[in-house]
A = this chain, B = another copy of it.
């Protein structure tokens, strides 16, 4: 009997089934320190216990994206080991902050299936939930991937297309219990700009760039126990390059966005995300943002700001997403649409 896990193929998924992903993970100050070592992360709420307490939280949580990577990493052996492409994200809710000592695990329900017309692969939609040790959902999101068929003769399943919102309504965002920005210290946070200082349509060039090294993206991707071969093994792709985990680009861009969005402290939701082009070692990542919406929340002094975060591997100064053909420009790596919480 073969003991190794070859991963699931398209015909192995059934709409309605729930996959219980393996290898729960306890996080500590070690993961926090590594996150700061791997990304130029400076949002004060994730850097200082004192700042977090002054904002109504019990301590500084693990960066929302670090928590997301842990939750996401668990799904890889069951969802994306044989994936041809990670197609998109939607309806991502950050429901509870994750603290040192918490243990995370993930489940995914299959919510959609559609075989491709070529008969060789299909699209799988999953609804993934990350739980802490109290069985509270901390992160909840939908994701769809293109997965190869093992047996090209396997019958196509009935097509089921989930209904997904293109954007989360601000009123549906969950604000962490106790969060209060009424006594916010802008000097300690690093910038004076509150939500009221931003305008819908405003674009911000985050200026700084980081040139990526193989060792760094592998250390980061392993930290989240993401096992996809293409990130680690030079023999996995024909040209011998190691494809960089898309989440590494998300975290790098989000950290770079501090410069101009230092007060966009917490991520409350992910509306949509696309990895527009592959990122490789040697690329210099830059980022720009566009303000898409600004909304009130029920929490004291807390606004929700909807942002488009774009990572590029060229100059970020032009701040253009698409070429004349309507397609992503070749230097665009990431187009992420998310909600952040900011002092009003």
A77 to chain B, nearest CB (A): 7
Q: Please, which residues of chain B bring their CB within 8 A of the CB of A49? A: 26, 101, 103, 133
Which residues 159-193 of A sit at the B interface, judged by CB distance below 8 A?
Answer: 187-191, 193
Query: With contacts A22-B187, A34-B30, A233-B209 known, is A260 near B3, CB below 8 A?
Result: yes
Residues A36 and B223 in contact, CB atoms below 8 Å apart: yes
Smallest Cβ distance from A104 to chain B, in angstroms? 9
Q: Which residues of B contact A229 (CB under 8 A)?
A: 208-209
Determine whether the beta carbon of A24 is less than 8 Å from that of B36. Answer: no
- Check if B40 sits within 8 Å of A225, measured CB to CB: yes
From the candidates B26, B227, B261, name the one contacting A60 in the complex (CB within 8 A): B26
B38 and A190 within 8 A (CB): no
Give A261's nearest chain B residue, CB to CB. B3
| Minimum CB–CB distance for A283 against chain B, Å | 10
Q: Is A243 an interface residue (CB 8 A)?
A: no
Cβ contact within 8 Å between A25 and B40: no
Q: For A101, list chain B residues within 8 Å (CB).
A: 49
In this assembly, does A242 line the interface, its C-beta being within 8 Å of a C-beta of chain B?
yes
Please indicate the chain B residues that have their CB under 8 angstroms from the CB of A259 in the complex.
4-5
Shortest beta-carbon distance from A218 to chain B in Å: 7
Tell me whether A23 is interfacial, beta carbon within 8 Å: yes
